[in-house]
């Protein structure tokens, strides 16, 4: 497994990261099987493992904690906070009050005394980001976390985080985790150039577009039965008109992969790996077989001709469906932000 620099931290991480969103009640409910997947990934050379407290309401972190017993020192361990945990309205968000509680809960579930990368899972306008960075900086100084990251932040918010750290003496955000795949290339416009400018590591989520680039979603095929489809039918329904562009792109990409002697999965992961600003795409297998089908992608190098053909199918900087962006700022979703009057 090739190693790559994690931004400017001096840390070296594997070219693929293991994501564990599908461990627990929202995916693979067999803890022993999930642990086997983690061990196989580690044995294959993956040393970056990513989870979040909101994945199956902490169950994913518990599985990862059990899987890493005896192997914790070999792993660069990342988790996230922000999502709603339970029903308490204050067990959510980016406030200092919640961060200091959330990190202790994650440390306990992960059975570790420190988290290598603690990430803000999504932006939150109700909390001053300086307060968030202040709380996270304190955790760095206490030794409970090593580095700070963000996930699915707008370009302006990424720059603001760097500005706050410099001007107010906070610890700096060193990594961003955005959505990125052949079908969702929007971050090529600003996020990736900004990450390169500030030396941020980039660990993209959903490089297989939530399963669209696995070969399951094809013209004439039956609708795949997945837990994701049940939670987000509009994003994963083959017959949904807004997904027609994705389906057409998948057909063209599948043909390109066949002509190139590659699986569609390896074509998709190889594409993300080729961008010079990307550190390690996150693969998120639910089964052992899915992991095996993705591991070999770390060795794939796509030719310029293949990359040019991909650009013809989905042009640079284009995201085919807004549902794949992962975050919609209140400036777009709150009517009061876009209209002077409700009339």
Of 55, 118, 180, 217, catalytic: 55
CB 64 within 8 A of CB 49: yes
Can you give the three-state secondary structure of 278-300, one letter per residue? CCCCEECCCCHHHHHHHHHHHHC
Catalytic residue status for 55: yes
List of residues 6+ apart from 83 with CB closer than 8 A: 52, 53, 54, 92, 121, 122
Catalytic residues: 55
């Amino acid at each position: 497994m090739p190693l790559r620099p994690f931004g400017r931290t001096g840390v070296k991480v594997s070219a693929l990261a293991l994501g564990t969103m599908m461990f627990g009640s929202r995916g693979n409910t067999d803890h022993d099987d999930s642990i086997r997947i983690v061990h196989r990934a580690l044995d294959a050379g993956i040393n970056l493992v990513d989870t979040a407290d909101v994945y199956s309401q902490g169950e994913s972190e518990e599985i990862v904690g059990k899987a890493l017993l005896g192997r914790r020192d070999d792993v660069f361990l990342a988790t996230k906070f922000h999502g709603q945990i339970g029903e308490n309205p204050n067990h959510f968000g980016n406030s200092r009050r919640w961060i200091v509680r959330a990190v202790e809960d994650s440390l306990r579930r992960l059975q570790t005394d420190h988290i290598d990368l603690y990430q803000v899972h999504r932006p939150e306008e109700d909390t001053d980001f300086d307060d968030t960075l202040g709380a996270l900086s304190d955790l760095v100084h206490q030794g409970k976390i090593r580095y700070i990251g963000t996930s699915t932040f707008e370009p302006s918010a990424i720059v603001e985080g760097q500005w706050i750290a410099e001007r107010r003496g906070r610890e700096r955000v060193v990594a961003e985790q955005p959505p990125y795949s052949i079908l969702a290339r929007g971050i090529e416009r600003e996020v990736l150039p900004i990450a390169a400018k500030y030396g941020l590591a980039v660990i993209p989520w959903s490089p297989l577009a939530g399963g669209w680039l696995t070969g399951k979603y094809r013209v004439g095929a039956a609708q795949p039965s997945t837990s994701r489809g049940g939670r987000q039918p509009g994003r994963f329904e083959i017959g949904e008109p807004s997904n027609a562009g994705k389906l057409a792109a998948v057909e063209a990409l599948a043909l390109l992969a066949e002509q190139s002697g590659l699986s569609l999965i390896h074509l998709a992961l190889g594409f993300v790996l080729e961008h010079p600003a990307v550190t390690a795409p996150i693969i998120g297998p639910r089964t052992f077989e899915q992991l095996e089908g993705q591991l070999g992608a770390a060795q794939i190098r796509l030719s310029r001709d293949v990359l040019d053909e991909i650009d013809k199918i989905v042009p640079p900087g284009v995201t085919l469906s807004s549902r794949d962006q992962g975050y919609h700022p209140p400036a777009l979703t709150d009517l009061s932000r876009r209209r002077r009057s409700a009339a």
